[in-house]
């Protein structure tokens, strides 16, 4: 996996990666944070849910509380839904914007929200995952080809 943090700050880059993911993704996982049971994505794709588990750890994250992790099968409709968002999250390195001059590195939430998402191929290999509220994104070398 390659650190891709800050590289999907622009909508055009986000849409380009979604297009690459679309043909390779078998299912996604989404972790609903802050003790919530669901979000709009889970509600909209209720009939495509493969599994639902309570977790306190997932791709690089460990928490004290239990969070809801949903595995949802991939579909054209799912990717069309994801295209409506600006991007998953934004991350800025110190000095890259006027906002950051006094703040150091920081992340910004987007209209996607704070929930973490991951994309998997048919063999269960991770293609992309986020720690959205932190602004972190990891991507498979396979997607970068």
How many Å apart are CA 73 and CA 26, to the nearest integer? 6
100 pLDDT above the threshold of 50: no
Q: What is the pLDDT of residues 44-68, one digit of tens each?
A: 999 999 999 999 888 878 788 899 9
Look at phi and psi of residue 46 and say left if phi exceeds 0, alpha if psi is from -120 to 50, else beta: alpha
Give, as one character, the DSSP assignment of residue 115.
-
Q: State the pLDDT confidence band at 31, using cuts at 50, 70 and 90.
A: very high
- Nearest residue to 132 (alpha-carbon basis) of 1, 53, 42, 30: 30
88 pLDDT above the threshold of 80: yes
Q: Torsion angle of alpha carbons 116, 29, 123, 17, nearest 10°? A: -50
State the CB neighbour count (10 A cutoff) for residue 126.
Answer: 17
Give Cα 74 distance to the centre of its chain.
Answer: 14
Q: What is the pLDDT of residues 111-143, one digit of tens each?
A: 999 999 999 999 999 999 999 988 899 999 988
Give, as one character, the DSSP assignment of residue 96.
S
Helices (H), the chain: 11-24, 40-44, 76-83, 141-144
């Amino acid at each position: 996996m390659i650190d891709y943090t800050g590289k999907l700050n622009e909508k055009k880059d986000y849409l380009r990666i979604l297009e690459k993911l679309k043909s390779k993704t078998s299912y996604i996982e989404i972790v609903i944070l802050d003790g919530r049971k669901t979000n709009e994505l889970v509600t909209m794709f209720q009939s495509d849910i493969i599994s639902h588990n309570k977790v306190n750890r997932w791709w690089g994250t460990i928490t004290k509380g239990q969070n809801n992790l949903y595995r949802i099968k991939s579909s054209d409709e799912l990717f069309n839904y994801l295209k409506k968002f600006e991007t998953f999250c934004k991350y800025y390195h110190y000095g890259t914007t006027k906002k950051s001059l006094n703040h150091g590195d920081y992340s910004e939430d987007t209209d996607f929200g704070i929930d973490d998402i991951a994309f998997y191929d048919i063999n269960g290999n991770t293609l992309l995952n986020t720690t959205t509220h932190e602004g972190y994104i990891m991507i498979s070398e396979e997607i970068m080809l």
